[in-house]
């Protein structure tokens, strides 16, 4: 990978983590998430194969769109 491609990956991870942290904070502030809820949610995410496949497709599309805006040709066709 080139430095630009690595930067793209890191940017995508940062955006993803920021969104997750925001959602968790909202859930905590409203008393919706507490105790061992988060480990249970994480377990659910790890075993949902159909959900992962759908999300993989959506994230691939987003990744290619962002890369294109940054002038990076990923070679991925969607």
Mean pLDDT taken over the chain? 86
Helices 49-69 & 3-29 angle (0-180, nearest 10) = 130
For the segment 29-66, what is each residue's pLDDT rounded down to a tens digit? 999 988 888 888 888 778 877 877 888 888 889 889 98
Domain boundaries, the chain: 3-69
> Quick one: which of 77, 52, 51, 47 has its CA closest to 65?
77
What is this structure's pTM? 0.58
**Per-residue confidence (pLDDT) for residue 32, from 0 to 100:** 92
Percent of the chain clearing pLDDT 70 (strictly above) = 100
Q: Which SS3 state, helix, strand or coil, does residue 23 take?
A: helix
Largest CA distance in the chain: 45
Angle at 19 between CA 39 and CA 58, to 5 degrees: 95
* pLDDT tier for residue 12 given thresholds of 50, 70 and 90: confident
Nearest-angstrom CA–CA distance, 24 and 27? 5
Over residues 9-19, the mean pLDDT reads: 87
């Amino acid at each position: 990978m080139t430095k630009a491609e690595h930067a793209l990956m890191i940017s995508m991870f940062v955006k993803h983590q920021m969104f997750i942290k925001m959602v968790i904070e909202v859930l905590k502030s409203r008393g919706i998430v507490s105790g061992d809820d988060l480990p249970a949610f994480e377990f659910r995410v790890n075993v949902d194969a159909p959900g992962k496949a759908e999300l993989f497709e959506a994230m691939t599309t987003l990744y290619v769109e962002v890369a294109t805006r940054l002038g990076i040709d990923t070679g991925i066709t969607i």
